[in-house]
Amino acid sequence: MSLARTFLDRLRNAGITDADNEEQRLQKSLLFFATGLICLASVVWLLLYWQLGPRFPSNLSFALQLLLVGNLLIYLKTLNFNVFRWIQLSLFLFTPFIAQWSIGSFITASGMSLWALLAPIGAVLFIGPRESGAWFFAYVFLTALSGGFDYYLADSLSMAQHPVPPQTSAFFFALNFAAVSAIVYVLLRYADSQKHQAQQRLQEAHRLLQSEQDRSERLLLNILPAPIARRLKNGNQTIADGFSEVSVMFADIVSFTRVAEGLTPQQVFAMLNKIFSCFDELAEKYGLEKIKTIGDAYMVAAGLDTTSKNPTEALADMALEMCSLLHHDFSINEMRLELRIGIGTGPVVAGVVGKKKFIYDLWGDTVNIASRVTTEGTPGMVQVDERTYRRLQWGFDFQEPRTIFLKGKGNMVVHRLIGRRTADSA
């Protein structure tokens, strides 16, 4: 059973190439299937006719099978499907009429010309509804022609041909109608099942495509803010925006170079990945935008999303939680590392740089100030500039201000953040 099924599957899929679309695959599969059915049916019909009726010559039946199979083999050699289906349909159309004319009239041949109906029906399935009209017209014309011959030559035909027993004629009328109807029904069922399978394959392909699209979307959102990602997908214009008030934070691991000297590359990567992954979760928790990592430094911005409320306060809360995390959670901070954190607030320019391996980045004096405030900070402390202090002073406690020298900026007043203001401290 399995060998027969395997053989039928191979025969049904013969001649199908990877370049064929679903419709072409279906047409080829249907025509191969129909060819096999008609070859089998012609043999069965001939055997039954020999058992119940006159000895109808077998030459035409064998010739039909040789022509059908020969044309199929030529197609497998040339892969010219248009010629293949045109010849097969022509054989489907003309052979039943030739067989009927060789036997006698429509009555004596038990309506054998009905088999020619498979040609226009096959044309609908193998070529298309629009192109099948010519085949149906040819079938009607040949049927009318046969009927005309039978009408005007009935007397001479009845005398020239050997009489067929009425029982045999009736049996084959029923057989021809039933066989043609069965083949049409099987072909339609087969076409429907193949279309259903093609639809399932299409749905599966669409699901995989949607999955890949969602995955690409997530990857893109891991690189760019959501509004920037939408703009990048919807156009190819340069993306550069100015913001008047953005808070920028840098977090730098203290003495990282010295600590990393005694570790393998895998250990260094594992340590940074564990710490920065926790920072990513905090950025998502507070609704902030991670910009990038630079070696052992971590950069976050607040205020790029104009719908956010109190973005600078959210950035300060994140900075305090980052320090607390490294100070208390030694499953993450096995090396007992400390952070220097600096925050600067002011105008920035934000945009996407490059066409390949692009990055969303910030530029401006605010970024430089945040970086240098971080460099001059104290391990384990969050240090902010004056502008950031003014935005946080009503909700947070600070140490006394101090003046530090920043390269390229001169002396600058900075403030060290202690924590959220409580009722007692207020």
The structure tokens listed for 38 are 């008609």
Q: What's residue 278's pLDDT? A: 93
Q: What's residue 72's pLDDT? A: 77
Taking the complete model, does pTM exceed 0.75, yes or no?
no
Q: What's residue 178's pLDDT? A: 76
For residue 383, give the nearest of 123, 160, 375, 292 by alpha carbon: 375
Q: Are strands 289-294 and 382-385 parallel, antiparallel or unpaired?
A: unpaired
pLDDT at 317 exceeding the cut of 70? yes
CATH number of the 238-420 domain: 3.30.70.1230
Maximal C-alpha separation, the chain = 128
For residue 358, give the nearest of 209, 197, 208, 236 by alpha carbon: 236
Q: So where are the chain's domains? A: 1-152+166-213, 238-420
Q: What is the pLDDT of residues 48-100, one digit of tens each?
A: 666 655 555 556 666 777 787 777 788 778 878 888 888 888 888 888 888 77
CA angle 195, 197, 202 (to 5 degrees): 90
pLDDT at 174 exceeding the cut of 50? yes
Cα distance between residue 25 and residue 137, in whole Å: 27
- For the chain, the average pLDDT equals 80
Q: What's residue 200's pLDDT? A: 82
Helical ranges in 53-117 per DSSP H = 59-78, 81-103
Burial of 379 (0-12, 13-18, 19+ CB in 10 A): middle
Question: Can you tell me which residue has the tokens 């008609």?
Answer: 38
- In the chain, what percentage of residues exceed pLDDT 90? 21
Q: What's residue 1's pLDDT? A: 47
